[in-house]
Amino acid sequence: MTRTRVRFALALLVAGAFAFGQPAAIQQQLTFTPYHANGIYEVNEVVGWTVTPGPVAPTYAYKWTVRRNNAVVLKEGKLDLSSGKDKIEVTSDEPAMIYVAIEPYAELALAGAEKAVPATFVGGNTGRNNGLYAVGAAVSPTKIGLSTAAPGDFGSFWEAKLAAQAKIAINPQLTPVQTEVPGVEMSMFVLDALGSKAHGYVAKPAKEGKFPALIQLQYAGVYALNARAVAQRAASGWLMLNVDSHDKLPSDPSGNIPRNYQAIGNTDPEQSYFLNMYLRDSRVLDYLLTRPDWDGKTIVLTGGSMGGQQTLVLAGLRPEKITAALVCVPAGADTNGALHGRKPGYPNWPSDNPEVMKTALYFDPVNFAPRIQAVVMAGIGFIDTISPPAGIWTVLNQIPGPKEPLPLLESEHDNLTPQKGRACPERTRELLDLMVSGGVFKPNGIRP
Residue numbers annotated as active site: 305, 384, 413
Q: For residue 118, give the DSSP letter.
A: P
State the Cα–Cα distance between residues 115 and 121, nearest whole angstrom. 13
Under 8 Å between Cβ of 235 and 197: no
Going through 23-82 in order, the beta strands assigned E by DSSP cover 30-34, 40-41, 47-53, 60-68, 72-78
Cis? peptide before 55, omega within 30° of 0: yes
For residues 273 and 359, give the distance between their C-alpha atoms in angstroms, rounded to a whole number: 11
Q: In degrees, to the nearest 5, what angle opens at C-alpha 241 toward C-alphas 229 and 418? A: 45
Strand order across the 324-328 sheet: 173-177, 184-193, 196-205, 239-243, 211-216, 294-304, 324-328, 375-381, 403-408
Measured between alpha carbons, how far is 64 from 132 in angstroms, rounded to an integer?
10
CA distances for 301 relative to 80, 168, 403, 416, 428, angstroms: 48, 24, 14, 24, 11
